[in-house]
Structure 1
């Protein structure tokens, strides 16, 4: 099993490094089309998606693939890659240097490994989380090869909490931290994993936004709280996840849930009603 995980990590490093060189040439130089859900897509997204799918098929032919730009249905495979070829397409097209490639690996419908490469920032996150599975696998989370941990601190006005654009209603009431809006779901939550922020909330992320960072955050000692009533993982074979949001709260430690969840829980309630989750 150790050889398998070495192959997984090496594959992610090699593949995203090569793709990153090309994407850096396209960065801020391409135009975008609007998809039916209102999000943006560029030819760079499509090219990167094709390259990743081809690389997975060649290296792990028995693994399934679920990607933002093509296949949204979970296949009947024990192992499945969840791919966001460019997380942060709006930033990518506008020349804002916060965007990245996201690769999550599911085992029987639950994320167990995540890899995030942010080429403009020269930051690579990855992490392992076996959860309730019986897998024998590495542990921990890493940034540029160094072990990372979430912050042990209590909230204060000298600490940060990250918001998405659809969660700013939170600020109508007093909040115990300073706030930041990064504009990239995976990076928003990865900042919690590396200790920069105490928490982060994403109102309507899709599975390709959270699959990788779900494993990274928990591998770093953090807690991932889904702001919906039903259990999220494992995902269901044959279900289409193209339009399904996953309202989520990332925390540096589970003990902070009684502080932050009451402040952001209404976001989950609103999304559950709107999308009939």
Structure 2
């Protein structure tokens, strides 16, 4: 029964994000944004997509909890819970920059076991299953448009990439072993590592909805999450408000590169 939920989650996420993505693509670059109290942006499109996703989950998985960027920030006391970012990359979305996506992570007992992220304009969809340590049976795997992806086994060089966020540019004070890129979308930045395009990525202030889906995909592809907090992000705790909890995170393509990049990002700030 539990394993069937994962199969159903994949089909559900694929269909739902495609439908929502078609509507959002028509609004792309045409909407105005407002500032939320934390300084991030929100549009009517974010709120519409949030409502559509919550409604669909309630219909398809009535026993599942939901935590989303735009409305519900308290993690529920549920065995299964979806963690949603209806538009990751709202600034890009409003400015006509095509890197933005719809992110859906499914957590089992507070830990992500499935993730799906759809980038409508790029026509790229990533998904993955990460069941290690969950007690669920099944195969791990990470995919882009249905094809297996793996993180890179390469050593750092000036022909390889490391991804930054806008708030982590103080890393430039260090001597970096790779070229850098800033894509402006947390999920895509981490998925560059999962797909082998980058050897590492740092995000200074992501929230749980930026991480939940890619947590499963990156690890299934062979990458490693390195929380820049005293404790791990997961499992999430019931009753905790995650709306204002920044979760600085380093992702690397393999464990051997933790010692390469960790000293560099520790100098942020």
TM-score surpassing 0.5? yes
Q: Deviations over 1:4-59 (max 9, x none)?
A: 22211000000000001100000000001100000000000000000000000000
Question: CA offset at residue 133 of structure 1?
Answer: 1.4
Does the 8 A contact of 2:6 with 2:114 survive in 1? Answer: no
Offset of residue 242 of structure 1 = 0.2
Secondary structure, in 3 states, of the residue corresponding to 2:266? helix
2:225 is matched with which residue? 224
TM-score (norm 1): 0.95
| Map of 2:113 onto structure 1 | 112
Whole-angstrom distance in 2 between the partners of 1:4 and 1:83: 17
Q: Deviations over 1:203-250 (max 9, x none)?
A: 000000011011100000110110111232111100000010110001
Residue aligning to 1:274:
none
* SS at structure 1 position matched to 2:118: strand
Q: Is the 8 A contact 1:32 1:42 kept in 2?
A: yes
Question: 1:148 touches 1:195 (CA, 8 Å); kept in 2?
Answer: yes
Contact 1:5 1:137 in 2 (8 A): no
> What is the rounded CA distance, in whole Å, between the counterparts of 2:34 and 2:152 in structure 1?
39
SS in 2 for 1:249: strand
1:157-172 correspondence runs (5 A): 157-172=158-173
Confirm or deny: 8 A CA contact 1:118 1:124 kept in the other structure. Answer: yes
**Contact 1:161 1:200 (C-alpha < 8 Å) held by counterparts:** yes
Moved over 4 A (4+): none
Cα distance in 2 for residues equivalent to 1:87 and 1:212 = 11
The aligned residue for residue 273 of structure 1 is none
Tell me by how many angstroms 1:266 deviates: 3.2
Query: Is 2:81 aligned against 1:80?
Result: yes
TM-score (norm 2): 0.98
What secondary structure does 1:255 align onto? Answer: helix
Matches of 1:30 and 1:112, distance apart in 2: 34
2 CA distance for matches of 1:159 and 1:188?
14
Measure, in 2, the Cα distance between the counterparts of 1:266 and 1:66.
Answer: 32
1:179 corresponds in structure 2 to: 180
Q: In the alignment, which residue of structure 1 is the partner of 2:150?
A: 149
CA RMSD in angstroms, aligned pairs only: 0.9
1:232-274 per-position Cα deviation (integer Å, ceiling 9, x unaligned): 211110000001011000110011001100110233xx5xxxx
1:243 aligned partner: 244
Q: Distance in 1 between matches of 2:99 and 2:212?
A: 19
Instruction: Kindly state the Cα deviation for residue 61 of structure 1 after the two structures are TM-superposed.
Output: 0.3
Q: 1:257 matched to which residue of 2?
A: 258
2-structure distance, mates of 1:109, 1:4: 16
Deviations 1:56-92 (A, max 9, x none): 0000000000000000000000000000000000000
* Distance apart, 1:136 and its partner CA: 1.1
- Matched residue pairs, number? 268
> Could you tell me how far apart the structure 2 residues matched to 1:102 and 1:160 are?
23
Partner of 1:36: 37
In structure 2, list runs of 5 or more residues that go unmatched.
none
Q: Structure 1 unaligned runs (5+)?
A: 271-277
Say which SS state the counterpart of residue 82 (structure 2) adopts: strand
For the residues of structure 2 that align with 1:138 and 1:90, how far apart are their CA atoms? 36
Asked if 1 retains the 8 angstrom alpha-carbon contact of 2:170 and 2:267, the reply is no
